[in-house]
Structure 1
Amino acid sequence: MESTPKKAPRSKFPALLVVALALVALVFVIWRVDSAPSTNDAYASADTIDVVPEVSGRIVELAVTDNQAVKQGDLLFRIDPRPYEANLAKAEASLAALDKQIMLTQRSVDAQQFGADSVNATVEKARAAAKQATDTLRRTEPLLKEGFVSAEDVDRARTAQRAAEADLNAVLLQAQSAASAVSGVDALVAQRAAVEADIALTKLHLEMATVRAPFDGRVISLKTSVGQFASTMRPIFTLIDTRHWYVIANFRETDLKNIRSGTPATIRLMSDSGKTFEGKVDSIGYGVLPDDGAWCWAACRKFLALLTGSALPSVFRSKSWSINLTRKCSASALRQSLILSRNNERAQLPAITGGQAAGVLS
């Protein structure tokens, strides 16, 4: 009777190896997620300014269109300069007329000043004569009672004293007239300074009638055209500062233990996951977001502010990003998340990940 050979027992080592590798992979994934969290609930933002005219007038030239990129110094729009040119011409004419008036007055002053020395000498001479006449009268009057002088002598002394006083008063008036002429020139010179200030202000207004881009950016919310009357401090459109972009990401509070200011981050666009931007965590915002009904994210998420190390591309609304935080060195300072409260145009992005940040736009 033939015996059937027994099959060798199958080794359990391969199965155990597979299980062990799976456990190692699971532990690695858990460690990776814990040490380098990610999220796609993020927002890319840039600073914006409202472009407002500093002078009023009708727009005669509009050099940009909505969503147009501009460079620093590019012409944005021009307000009708004719009223300001007319004001400048009027102020300059006033200055020219005032200069002529000052010149004529100065000639008169110079003429009076030329005789100032003689006037002063005449004043001293008249004052001395008046004093002498007064002294003579004072000495003569007592002698009349003694009979040493006649009444006629006293009358002549009194007349001489009065004449000397009159001459002194006339010379003093002449001196005062010369001083008044000098004061008149000083007033005209002060008036000239005021006219020069008006001219400088009018030139500034004329310069403000031409509005140029203060930095590289993109025009948005343009809802005006040539012919529209622009009022002072009323926005014409908004200009996005495209030189600097930053990302604000939302993480669960439990993911923040490995995230702090200075943590390197990578931002990846969802529409082009192969392209990444390097950045660094700037700050973690205080407070939590309101309940939005999304699993355990309710009331336990905090803000995480990120800024890319290089300029992000133009980002429109309703775009998705993914940001991963990994342990990798990177430079570039990031903006504080409180910037959310500013009047910023931002693109909406859902997802971010801790240690280095990666963002994704779709």
Structure 2
Amino acid sequence: MPETTADEDDPKTAQRAGTTDHADPLPLVPRRGRGAKIVRLAATGVILLLAFGAAAYVWEFYVAAPWTRDGTVRVQVANIAPQVAGQIVEVRVHDNQNVRKGDVLYVIDPVDFEVSVTSADAEVKNREADLQVKNAQSARRQALTTVSTSVEEKQQYAGQAKIAQAALESAQAQLRQAKINLERTQVKSTVNGRVTNLLMRVGDYARTGTSNISVVDTDSYWIDGYFEETKMPNIHVGDRADVKLMGFDPRLTGTVASITLGIATANAAASTQGLPDVNPVYTWVRLAQRVPVRIHIDHVPPEIPLIAGMTATVVVNGGRAPAPSWFMDLRARVSALTHATTAPTIEADRR
């Protein structure tokens, strides 16, 4: 019989030997797992491409394209002053009322002016009668051929007729002026717009040439965008502009109408001795100047009420497509955050 050892008879030893000689092969990676890995890689690539595209888009509109969040809605205001003086007897409008050009705003007491019209009309009639008499006398003298009527007498009567004609024309001019002054007692709006900050009341005294009522000209709204001087090479008259007002989602569209050719500088002021007053500045802090650009408003959504002084974000697009709303919002928020974090530091450096 063959010899056996204790190790061979030991079941644990045999089990370890069998395990060493007959090891199971490694499991294969299923094909389904490989497909999921490829999908993940493809998705990562697509996301990277979109990220690069978005970065290029943001660079174009945030850095290259001229834009500013320092925009303001502007409007012209008609400060209306009476052309005649007198006590106000009637106010026909109230504060914030819409008016049309030619509407009567208030009335000045017309009694004195009506008297002036009556007096001037009577003077015209008197001068007409005098002219008729002078013309008749001159005609009779001119018709006489006797020696008793000299040439000097004829010229004298002809001159009197001309003087009477001149007096009549002067009286007619005074009558016309009196009628105009009477019409001016009804002070009218010179523009289409809205009455603002109305403080007058019946009984106030209106003085000639002194403004006492203001009307916002609703046909004159425009946008002033204050662009950094580094953005000015890409801004031209006629370029398209997109405007977003703070607090309103719809956007306004406009066109660059004009560019200011000068801004004030503190160094231009003279000191008490007439020398230039140059302010000391830190050479390492150089802030770009802001240049006003006037934007003509082409379209206003009906749900947006334009109010002078509103804050606006302005993007000059030139021939490019308009920037999306979400991007203009993001741009304004990033700029506001940047300004909020850097302004205290700059102010501290200045001090």
Decide: shared fold, TM above 0.5: yes
* Alignment-derived partner of residue 216 in structure 2: 240
Q: Is the 8 A contact 2:196 2:214 kept in 1?
A: yes
Which piece of structure 1 moves more, 52-61 or 100-109? 100-109
Displacement of 1:264 after TM fit? 0.6
* Alignment-derived partner of residue 193 in structure 1: 169
Q: Is 1:85 the counterpart of 2:114 in the alignment?
A: yes
1:171-182 correspondence to structure 2 within 5 Å? 171=148, 176-182=152-158
Letter in 2 for 1:26: A
Letter in 2 for 1:190: A
Displacement of 1:329 after TM fit? 7.4
What SS class does the counterpart of residue 272 from structure 1 fall into? coil
Letter in 2 for 1:238: S
Q: Is 1:203 the counterpart of 2:192 in the alignment?
A: no
Q: Is the 8 A contact 1:43 1:247 kept in 2?
A: yes
Displacement of 1:266 after TM fit? 1.5
Displacement of 1:288 after TM fit? 5.9
Displacement of 1:327 after TM fit? 4.5
* Alignment-derived partner of residue 276 in structure 2: none
Q: Is the 8 A contact 1:34 1:255 kept in 2?
A: no
* Alignment-derived partner of residue 282 in structure 1: 257
5+ residue gaps, structure 2:
1-22, 267-284, 322-331, 334-351
Displacement of 1:186 after TM fit? 2.3
5+ residue gaps, structure 1:
120-170, 331-350, 353-362
* Alignment-derived partner of residue 44 in structure 1: 73
Against the structure 1 CA distance between its residues 222 and 118, is the aligned structure 2 distance closer, same or farther, given a 3 Å change threshold?
A: same
Q: Is 1:117 the counterpart of 2:117 in the alignment?
A: no
Q: Is the 8 A contact 2:85 2:208 kept in 1?
A: yes
Q: Is the 8 A contact 2:77 2:215 kept in 1?
A: yes
CA distance in 2, matches of 1:320, 1:247: 10
Q: Is the 8 A contact 2:73 2:307 kept in 1?
A: no
CA distance in 2, matches of 1:102, 1:27: 89
Against the structure 1 CA distance between its residues 257 and 70, is the aligned structure 2 distance closer, same or farther, given a 3 Å change threshold?
A: same
Equivalent pairs: percent with the same residue? 23
TM-score, reference length from structure 2:
0.67
Cα deviation code 1:57-93 (max 9, x no counterpart): 1122211222221112211122222211111111111
Against the structure 1 CA distance between its residues 317 and 215, is the aligned structure 2 distance closer, same or farther, given a 3 Å change threshold?
A: closer
CA distance in 2, matches of 1:53, 1:4: 103
Q: Is the 8 A contact 1:289 1:300 kept in 2?
A: no
Letter in 1 for 2:295: L
Higher relative contact order (CA 8 A, sep 6+): 1
- 2:99 corresponds, among 70, 92, 113, to 70
Letter in 2 for 1:264: R
Displacement of 1:322 after TM fit? 2.1
CA distance in 1, matches of 2:186, 2:317: 48
CA distance in 2, matches of 1:70, 1:193: 39
* Alignment-derived partner of residue 242 in structure 2: 266
Which piece of structure 1 moves more, 104-113 or 232-241? 104-113
Q: Is the 8 A contact 1:289 1:299 kept in 2?
A: no
Displacement of 1:234 after TM fit? 0.3
What SS class does the counterpart of residue 146 from structure 2 fall into? helix
Cα deviation code 1:158-184 (max 9, x no counterpart): xxxxxxxxxxxxx47x66445433332
